[in-house]
Chains A and B, each alone.
Chain A
Amino acid sequence: MALPQTQVGATDMLSVSNLTTSYGLIKALNDVSLVAKEGQVTCILGPNGAGKTTLMFTLAGILKPVSGSVQFDGIEIAGLGAPKVLQSGLSLVPENRLVFPLMSVRDNLMAGAYLRHRSKRIEVENDLEKMYERFPVLKQREEQNAGTLSGGEQQMLALARALMSRPKMLLLDEPSVGLAPKIVDEIFAIITQVKSEGMSIVLVEQNAIKALQVADHFYFLDQGRVSFNGNPNELENEDVIRRAYLGQ
């Protein structure tokens, strides 16, 4: 299978080819190939059970693929395991945020920088201050347990925690899930801001309309396969959604 065509210009940051991941006999990802470019937002759309989270977990090294390759920033990361993938600069913000509820906001952020904590203590402290500037609400809640934050605040915390590892690329799994529309707008504003600072992002979303507003390129995943891909501006949003969710 040839790699899908994407825009020319930016270099490929992440290229996935023929990736297959199984849960026992069930193939959750079947021969998936896609490319995410540097400095862009690449969006993965698809209905429930399409394999979006499986794809994210495989990219982040939590799940081991059966076959296929994942090239990230020039190195092969498929099957390396979560710590090494994180060290290579790919950081996942998991679905439902998954903060550490009984730890303070500060400790949550420090845990995000765990892998580079020993060698670069001062740098980590500086990054912590930067996160507080970007997310002032986290500064206000610094000593509070993360479990006491609202859903939107927890999403910000999860995002900030991922940024604490100084990634080259962020994997965002359903950042809008379970949040009020106003908070979803805030989260997407933050995603746009992070992107404008040059971060490469792979975004998984159910909220297709929102996602297509920030995406440079999108892939549609259905039953573990990429069914089509394209640029948001080539298609009307309605078209994408109709083709995606209604199969037309």
Chain B
Amino acid sequence: MEFLQTSLDGILFGSAYALLALGFSLIFGIMKRINLAYGSSLLLGSAIAVWVNEHIGLGPLGLFLVTITAAALVNIYVERLCFCPHVGKTGVTASMIASFAIWMQLDEISSQLLPQRTHEFPGIEIGSVEIFNLYLRGDQILNLWVAIIAISALFLILRCTRFGLLLRASADNPETAKLLGANVSRIGIVTFAIAGFLGGTSAFLILSSDGHVTPLFGLWSTIKGLVAMMLGGVGSLVGAVLGGLLLGFLEAHTTNLFGAEYRDISTFGILFLVLILRPGGLMGVAHYRTDRLAHERI
């Protein structure tokens, strides 16, 4: 029973990791670029929301909306500054280094907005539920639902809309997508905005269940997002979701067995094992195989 309870807690928390990893994976999948400033964009988004909340006061819904909007706007800022000017193959390295540099800038702005070590991030008070002797925190159930809705919305947009078709086309072959009338500059903005909404949602879920925000959240979410993405397989969106859930699951069990101080060590231990046993991540090997085969043929 305890195993089941721990697994459930882990998966509920892992849904927020899944959103983080999706944000990374979306940008990697569509732009073939790694955005190292992603975590600090989410920190700045949250910092802006907390700052507004401390000055004029926001309800839980207001806090959520300001967090995701600010995260999306900061992400667009990063895209215009670090990714938009660097096109082609050489742009991969240039944009990655630029995003690493801008990470520092965003962290600095965040620390100006959050001068104290910790600031309160109001949580949502929902009663707990008990089913078959399993104890579920109300806010975590809400987290899971929000994550499910956000993930389904993303997959629906990608699979069923005209714009999603264009996003997939430009992920697959940007030059040809241009030929068919795609506005590549706009695709960059929208991709980063969507990644910002997903990451902002994740940041809100994690911070509201922690109850506070610290300037270390940028680094923390970058690491968790990258590890979850690596676990699932770079470039695979389904892999990102699975990687996030798996990371939450494994962390919960490590915490339960060895104590909370081993939680982050377990993250890197798992990454170490995956990189040795399955270097492309869980879904990554298959993803790369089709990708490579497909590109060899043309």
Q: Which residue numbers of A lie inside 8 Å of B, CB to CB?
A: 60, 62, 82-83, 86-87, 92, 94, 96-103, 107, 110-112, 114-115, 117-118, 145-149, 151, 154, 161, 165
Contacts and interface: CB of A to CB of B under 8 A. Distances in A.
Given A100-B168, A114-B162, A147-B298, A82 B291 contact: no
Contacts of A87: 181
Contacts of B298: 96-99, 101, 147, 154
Nearest to A84: B181
A62 B169 contact: no
Contact of A117 (B162, B177, B297): B162
Contact of A101 (B175, B180, B294): B294
B293 interface: yes
A118 B178 CA distance: 18
* In the complex, the 3 A-B pairs of residues with the closest C-beta atoms, listed nearest first: A147-B294, A101-B294, A83-B181
Contacts of A94: 176, 179
Given A99-B298, A103-B172, A147-B298, A111 B180 contact: yes
Nearest to B296: A147
Contacts of A115: 180-181
Contacts of A151: 297
Given A101-B291, A107-B168, A147-B290, 8 more contacts: A86-B179, A100-B172, A101-B298, A110-B165, A114-B180, A147-B297, A147-B298, A149-B297
15 contacts: A82-B178, A82-B181, A83-B181, A100-B168, A100-B169, A101-B294, A107-B169, A111-B166, A111-B169, A117-B162, A117-B165, A147-B294, A147-B295, A148-B294, A149-B297
Contacts of A165: 180-181
Contacts of A100: 168-169, 172-173, 176-177
Interface in B242-298: 290-291, 293-295, 297-298
Interface SS majority for chain B: helix
B136 interface: no
Contacts of B162: 114, 117-118
Nearest to B175: A98
A26 B181 CA distance: 28
Which of B166, B168, B181 has most chain A Cβ within 10 Å? B181
B280 to A, nearest CB: 16
Nearest to A147: B294
Contacts of A62: 178-179
Nearest to A102: B172
Interface string B186-200: 000000000000000
B181 A101 contact: no
Which of B162, B180, B183, B291: most chain A Cβ within 10 A? Answer: B180
A168 to B, nearest CB: 16
Nearest to A97: B298
B182 interface: yes
Contacts of B178: 62, 82
B294 A98 contact: no
B272 to A, nearest CB: 30
Contacts of A103: 168-169, 172
B290 A83 contact: no
Contacts of B169: 100, 103, 107, 111, 114
A92 B169 CA distance: 16
A102 B291 contact: yes
A146 B176 CA distance: 14
B173 to A, nearest CB: 5
Contacts of B179: 60, 62, 82, 86, 92, 94, 98
Contacts of A82: 178-179, 181
Nearest to B183: A83
B295 A101 contact: yes
Contact of B294 (A102, A112, A161): A102
B177 to A, nearest CB: 7
Contacts of A96: 298
B180 A145 contact: no
A110 B297 CA distance: 22
Nearest to B164: A107
B235 to A, nearest CB: 10
A169 to B, nearest CB: 15
Nearest to A101: B294
Contacts of B177: 100, 111
A118 B173 CA distance: 22
With most chain A CB atoms within 10 A of its CB, the pick from B165, B171, B183, B295 is: B165
Contact of A114 (B171, B181, B291): B181
Contacts of B173: 98-101
